[in-house]
């Protein structure tokens, strides 16, 4: 490219770069800067404290609780939603009559706003009038109504179920598109070679979908890591921090405790975790398809 | 156009203009019509306007104020109760603190630490101060200043369901007056009426859970945790209180994880026998269960008294009242104070807002003046027994930060964690927030 052309190109993208810098780079740098301060709106302090927040964070038991919960609530719903979504995609791929209506119905949970999903599930889990309790008691599985969101043993699973319900249609949609893009010739060749349904699924379908599976699962994990709208209305990170994730913890520290320095430190470490996962994602979308 | 036609059109236009002006004059609020200058606007942040049950009442009260003070216009800022501290903190940081604020449960101490609130001793006269119960005033003090006045007296009292007590073979004329008697009655109810919860306490997430737990800590401890610069979570009386909560939860004698709304729903539908709540529970019960709308029906089924006496030997309830405060940077402090004083001391406000919302007037003289409106047995229990025994919770500027840890500890204990180790962990966590507090 000629020098003049390069100058022109730079001039045309400069406004966009400046906007991006203002929106992304400045807040990021500011957050990293705050993580080295004791910025606290209640105690009215804002001094440089070096790595004190990081040292304090690594000695804070809540950090490890939040880390484990963030990983668990990032990965477990993805696994559940993937299995259900893949099953739905396989079924819908075989159905021809009424498939349009069925696909529309199956997609519904994906279009419901997450905060609505949170309140719906919270109501369904209600310990006095919730439909979960009514059904389980009628079936004889429980003797008394249970506080699903208030018990450490059940609250994380109850939250995971809400995530799964929301995310399953995404997997269904993407994997169904993937299934329909597999050339018929490959399937037919496998049939001719005497491959059964399971063998076709394992040796033909799954390898063909490998890249889609990698992208969708990693994307879902990233979304789950950042999820706030489901978990906050449902549990606020409780009971006793059993569903506390980094997103909830940062919110609490920043907007309830106004401990901005510490909140920024959590945010920076959380960003590091997300960057690792994003690295996997970039590798997945940048990878080359293997020849069938 | 002929001259006559022109005159006719002009006359009709003049008549229409005069009519429009007349309509506008009637349509403009009365304060604008009778105030010489432009009315001074003050902002009033409150949760009453954000709740359907009370928004009509507070609006009526403000209308009465504006009628009496035509040169002051009150602009309401409705904020949900749970968001009050965070919203007001953000507004304070933005140098945009509302002129007057409805507060409660340690909010005055949190906001005063940020320099957001005015010292009301510079405004309140002696007659007004001496008309308020000293402990209620104390609840609005922070850093040696009086930063909030009581607006509505709503400390928690001990509610009991007479019908359920009778069914269980207990005498509703003698509700439990000690923790030992309460524990005994809870066991009796559980044995005879297994489908109801003998006892209820909020154990869900949120700072208010600590407020609800506090009277029980006061019953067990002469010096409850956080008082007098002591953490006090590992002292034997605190451990006893938490062990008591744990036993109740373990035996399914109380629901676990419920918030106040859940418990009120159960209480109103005869599924809870004993609980602590404010005097406004009466209105909530009848709104949930119309069977108890009439005073006689309510009084026949429900009673209220003081918190049972524990090892502490004295019955106390925690002061959980609605308060009102003024911004240290109010644009017109005189107008803001005029409004604040109206809300605290005006009979119109008591008639339109405080008594209908289920609270009690903050001034002793007003309690006497409205004695006919406070004649129900439960109201008399509040006036004569519960309010005089109310003592403040030892709030401090970082109370909200600490309350998260306190609620976590309570939730761990009611879910079966070891009491001693949980409280030791709580004490250690709070030591990080209060390094100057003694154990």
The 3-class secondary structure across B73-138, one letter per residue, is: EEEEEECCHHHHHHHHHHHHHCCCCCCEEEEECCHHHHHHCCCCECCHHHCCCHHHHHCECHHHHH
Residue A287 pLDDT level (bands cut at 50, 70, 90): low
Are residues B135 and B53 both part of a single domain?
Answer: yes
B141 phi and psi angles, rounded to 5 deg:
-95, 145
For residue B1, tell me if it sits in a domain: no
* Least confident piece of the model among A49-53, A276-280, B65-69, B240-244: A276-280
**Chain A contacts of B79, Cβ < 8 Å?**
none
> Around B381, how many Cα atoms within 13 Å sit in the side-chain half-sphere?
23
Domain match, B283 and B403 both: yes
Would A196 be classed as within a structural domain? yes
The CATH number given to whatever domain includes residue A188 is 1.10.3720.10
Task: Please give the tally of structural domains in chain A.
Answer: 1
The chain A residues in contact with chain B (CB within 8 A) are 41-44, 61, 126-129, 144, 147, 149-152, 235-241, 252, 255-259
Across the A:B interface, residue pairs with CB atoms under 8 Å apart total: 81
- How far, CA to CA in Å, does A79 sit from each of A264, A279, B147, B170? 30, 20, 54, 54
- Tell me: do B130 and B238 sit in the same domain: no
Q: What is the DSSP letter of B141?
A: E
- Residue B244: which domain range? 157-318+398-433
In a domain, B17, yes or no: no
Name which of A73, A117, A234, A157 is nearest B205 in CA terms: A234
Give the nearest partner residue to A150 out of B90, B256, B398, using CB atoms. Answer: B256
Rounded to a whole number of angstroms, the CA Rg of chain A reads 24
Q: Which CATH number is B191's domain given?
A: 3.40.190.10
Which residues face B326 on adjacent strands?
B100
Dihedral angle of Cα A51, A55, A61, A67, to the nearest 10 degrees: 60
Note whether residue A5 is domain-resident.
Answer: no
Q: Are B320 and B211 in contact (CB under 8 A)?
A: yes
* Candidate from A7-16, A275-284, B17-26, B116-125 with smallest mean pLDDT: B17-26
Those residues whose C-beta lies under 8 Å from the C-beta of residue B287, and which sit 6 or more positions away, are B53
Nearest residue of A to residue B255 by CA position?
Answer: A147
- In this model, does residue B269 exceed pLDDT 80? yes
pLDDT value of position B30: 46
Of the partner residues B266, B412, B425, the one whose CB lies closest to the CB of residue A128: B266
Least confident of A52-56, A226-230, B315-319, B380-384: B315-319
Domain count, chain B: 2
Inform me whether the pLDDT recorded for B127 exceeds 60: yes
pLDDT above 70: residue B14: no
Residues in chain B: 439
3-state DSSP of chain A: CCHHHHHHHHHHHHHHHHHHHHHHHHHHHHHHHHCCECCECCCCECCECCCHHHHHHHCCHHHHHHHHHHHHHHHHHHHHHHHHHHHHHHHHHHCCCCHHHHHHHHHHHHHCCHHHHHHHHHHHCCCCCCHHHHHHHHCCCCCCCCCCCCCCCCHHHHHHHHHHHHHHHHHHHHHHHHHHCCCHHHHHHHHHCCCCHHHHHHHHHHHHHHHHHHHHHHHHHHHHHHCCCCHHHHHCCCCCCCCCCHHHHHHHHHHHCCCHHHHHHHHHHHHHHHHHHHHHHHHHHHCCCCCC
The per-residue b/e assignment along A4-35, b for 16 or more CB within 10 angstroms, e otherwise, is eeeeeeeeeeeeeeeeeeeeeeeeeeebeebb
Confidence of residue B9 (pLDDT cuts 50, 70, 90): low
Please compute the mean of the pLDDT values over residues A38-56 and round it to a whole number: 92
- Residues of chain B in contact with residue A129, where contact means CB-CB under 8 angstroms, are 265
Residue B142 shares a structural domain with residue B259: no
pLDDT confidence band for A151 (50 / 70 / 90)? confident
Q: pLDDT digit string (tens) for B319-336?
A: 999 999 999 999 999 999
Q: Report if residue A37 sits inside a domain.
A: no
On whether residue B23 sits in a domain, the answer given is no
Dihedral angle over CA of B4, B7, B9, B13, nearest 10: -170
pLDDT value for A290: 47
Q: What is the mean pLDDT of residues A180-208?
A: 91
Phi, psi of B309 (to 5 degrees): -80, 135
Reported ipTM? 0.77
Q: With CB atoms and an 8 Å threshold, state whether A42 touches B252.
A: no
Lowest mean pLDDT among A271-285, B179-193, B307-321: A271-285
The size of chain A, in residues, is 292
If asked whether residues B72 and B219 sit together in one domain, one would say no
Contact between chains at A238 and B256 (C-beta distance less than 8 A): no
pLDDT digits (tens, 9 = 90+) for B358-406: 899 999 999 999 999 999 999 999 999 999 999 999 999 889 889 999 9
Examine the domain organization and report whether B328 and B223 are in the same domain: no
Same domain, B274 and B333: no
Alpha-carbon span B41 to B123, nearest angstrom: 19
Tell me: the pLDDT tens digits for B208-230? 999 999 999 999 999 999 999 99
Q: Smallest CA–CA separation between B416 and chain A, in Å?
A: 10
Same domain, B182 and B291: yes
Contacts of B262 in chain A (CB under 8 A): 126-128
**pLDDT band at residue B152 using 50, 70 and 90 as cut-offs:** very high
Q: Which pLDDT value is given to residue B29?
A: 47
The DSSP code for B354 is I
Range of weakest confidence among A4-8, A36-40, A69-73, B119-123: A4-8
Say whether both B41 and B82 belong to one domain.
yes
% residues pLDDT > 90 (chain B): 79
pLDDT value at residue A35 = 97
A24 domain-assigned: no
B72 and B181 in a single domain? The answer is no
In a domain, A274, yes or no: yes
Under 8 Å between Cβ of B425 and B246: no
Quote the DSSP letter at residue B14: H
Q: Please check whether residue A253 lies inside any domain of the structure.
A: yes
pLDDT at B327: 97
Phi, psi of B160 (to 5 degrees): -140, 150
Does the residue A89 lie in any domain? yes
Q: Which residues of B touch A58 (CB under 8 A)?
A: none
What are residue A268's phi and psi, to 5 degrees?
A: -65, -45
Whether residues A236 and B265 touch (CB distance < 8 A) is answered with: no
Task: Give the DSSP per-residue string, B186-203.
Answer: HHHHHHH-TTSEEEE---
Across A8-22, average pLDDT = 90
pLDDT at residue B8 above 50? yes
Express each pLDDT in B280-303 by its tens digit.
999 899 889 999 999 999 999 999
Cα–Cα distances in angstroms (integers) from residue B273 to residues A292, B34, B176, B179, in the given order: 70, 55, 11, 15
Which bin fits A129, alpha (ψ -120 to 50), beta or left (φ > 0)?
alpha
Q: What is the pLDDT of residue B37?
A: 79
Q: A260-286 vs A206-226: helix axis angle to the nearest 10?
A: 170
Would the CB atoms of A238 and B407 count as touching at under 8 Å?
Answer: yes
Q: Are residues B277 and B416 in the same domain?
A: yes
Distance from CA of A116 to the nearest CA of B (A): 19
Whether B27 maps to a domain, the answer reads: no
* In contact, A74 and A60? CB cutoff 8 Å: no
List the single residue in B110, B257, B401 with the smallest CB-CB distance to A239.
B257
φ, ψ of residue B60 to 5 degrees: the values are -65, -40
Are B323 and B148 contacting, i.e. CB atoms less than 8 angstroms apart?
yes
CA distance B438 to B218: 19
C-alpha B415/C-alpha B417 separation (Å) is: 6
Q: Do B291 and B364 have their domain in common?
A: no
Nearest chain B Cα to A44, which residue? Answer: B114
Predicted local confidence at residue A255, as pLDDT: 86
Helix (H) or strand (E) holding B23: helix B3-27
Q: Which domain holds residue A133?
A: 60-286
Note whether residue A246 is domain-resident.
yes
Examine residue B123 and state whether it is found in any structural domain, yes or no. yes
Among partner residues A42, A128, A152, which is closest to B110 by beta-carbon distance?
A42
Q: Are A248 and A237 in contact (CB under 8 A)?
A: yes
Strand B302-305 with B197-200, pairing: unpaired
As a whole number, the mean pLDDT across chain B is: 91
- pLDDT at position B181 over 50: yes
pLDDT of A225 higher than 50:
yes
- Residue B240, pLDDT > 80, answer yes
Cβ-contact B385, B305 below 8 angstroms: yes
Distance, CA of B132 to CA of A1 (rounded, Å): 82
Q: Residue A292's pLDDT is what? A: 39
Q: What digits encode the pLDDT tens for the residues B129-148?
A: 999 999 999 999 999 999 99
What span, in angstroms and rounded, lies between the C-alpha atoms of B331 and B42? 8
Does residue A264 contact residue A31 with C-beta atoms inside 8 Å? yes
């Amino acid at each position: 490219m000629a020098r003049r052309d390069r100058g022109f190109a730079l001039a045309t993208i400069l406004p966009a770069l400046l906007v991006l810098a203002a929106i992304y780079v400045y807040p990021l740098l500011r957050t990293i800067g705050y993580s080295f301060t004791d910025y606290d709106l209640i105690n009215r302090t804002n001094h440089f404290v070096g790595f004190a927040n990081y040292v304090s964070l690594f000695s804070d038991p809540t950090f490890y609780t939040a880390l484990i919960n963030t990983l668990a609530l990032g990965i477990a719903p993805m696994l559940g939603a993937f299995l259900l979504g893949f099953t739905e995609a396989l079924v819908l791929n075989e159905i021809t009559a009424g498939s349009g209506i069925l696909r529309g119905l199956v997609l519904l949970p994906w279009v419901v706003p997450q905060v609505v999903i949170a309140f719906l599930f919270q109501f369904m889990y209600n310990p006095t009038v919730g439909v979960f309790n009514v059904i389980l008691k009628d079936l004889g599985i429980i003797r008394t109504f249970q506080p699903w969101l208030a018990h450490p043993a059940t609250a994380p699973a109850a939250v995971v179920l809400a995530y799964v319900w929301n995310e399953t249609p995404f997997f269904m949609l993407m994997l169904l598109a993937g299934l329909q893009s597999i050339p018929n010739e490959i399937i037919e060749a496998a049939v001719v070679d005497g491959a059964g349904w399971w063998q076709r699924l394992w040796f033909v379908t799954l390898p063909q979908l490998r890249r889609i599976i990698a992208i969708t699962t990693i994307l879902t994990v990233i979304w789950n890591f950042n999820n706030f709208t489901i978990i906050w209305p449902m549990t606020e990170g409780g009971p006793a921090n059993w569903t506390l994730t980094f997103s909830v913890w940062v919110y609490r520290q920043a907007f309830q405790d106004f401990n901005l320095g510490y909140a920024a430190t959590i945010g920076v470490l959380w960003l590091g975790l997300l960057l690792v996962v994003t690295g996997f994602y970039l590798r997945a979308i940048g990878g080359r398809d293997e020849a069938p | 156009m002929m001259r006559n036609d022109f005159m006719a059109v002009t006359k009709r236009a003049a008549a229409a203009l005069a009519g429009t002006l007349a309509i506008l004059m009637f349509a403009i609020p009365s304060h604008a019509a009778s105030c010489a200058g432009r009315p001074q606007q003050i902002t009033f942040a409150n949760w009453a306007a954000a709740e359907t049950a009370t928004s009509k009442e507070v609006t009526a009260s403000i209308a009465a104020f504006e009628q009496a003070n035509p040169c002051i216009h009150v602009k309401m800022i409705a904020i949900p109760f749970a968001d009050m501290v965070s919203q007001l903190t953000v507004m304070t940081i933005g140098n945009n603190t509302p002129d007057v604020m409805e507060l409660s449960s340690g909010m005055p101490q949190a906001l005063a630490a940020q320099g957001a609130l005015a010292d009301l001793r510079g405004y309140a006269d002696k007659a007004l101060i001496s008309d308020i119960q000293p402990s209620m005033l104390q609840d609005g003090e922070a850093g040696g200043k009086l930063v909030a006045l009581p607006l509505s007296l709503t400390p928690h009292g001990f509610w009991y369901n007479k019908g359920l007590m009778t069914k269980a073979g207990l005498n509703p004329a003698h509700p439990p007056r000690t923790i030992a008697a309460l524990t005994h009655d809870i066991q009796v109810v559980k044995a005879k009426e297994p489908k109801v919860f003998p006892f209820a306490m909020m154990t869900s997430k949120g700072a208010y859970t600590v407020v609800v737990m506090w009277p029980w800590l006061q019953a067990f401890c002469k010096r409850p945790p956080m008082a007098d610069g002591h953490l006090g979570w590992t002292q034997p009386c605190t451990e006893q209180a938490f062990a008591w909560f744990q036993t109740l939860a373990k035996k399914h004698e109380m629901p676990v994880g419920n918030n106040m709304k859940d418990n009120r729903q159960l209480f109103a539908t005869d599924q809870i026998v004993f609980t602590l709540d404010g005097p406004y529970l009466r209105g909530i019960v009848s709104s949930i269960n119309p069977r108890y709308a009439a005073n006689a029906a309510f009084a026949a089924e429900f009673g209220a008294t003081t918190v049972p006496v524990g090892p502490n030997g004295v019955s106390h309830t925690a002061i959980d009242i609605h308060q009102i405060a003024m911004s240290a940077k109010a644009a017109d402090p005189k107008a803001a104070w005029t409004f604040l004083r109206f809300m605290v001391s005006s009979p119109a406000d008591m008639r339109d807002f405080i008594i209908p919302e289920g609270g009690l007037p903050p001034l002793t003289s007003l309690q006497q003046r409205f004695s006919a409106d406070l004649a129900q047995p439960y109201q008399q229990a509040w006036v004569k027994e519960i309010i005089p025994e109310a003592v403040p919770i030892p709030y401090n500027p970082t109370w909200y930060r600490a309350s998260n840890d306190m609620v976590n500890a309570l939730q761990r204990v009611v879910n079966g964690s070891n009491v001693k180790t949980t409280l030791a962990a709580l004490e250690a966590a709070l030591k990080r927030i209060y390094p100057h507090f003694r154990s």
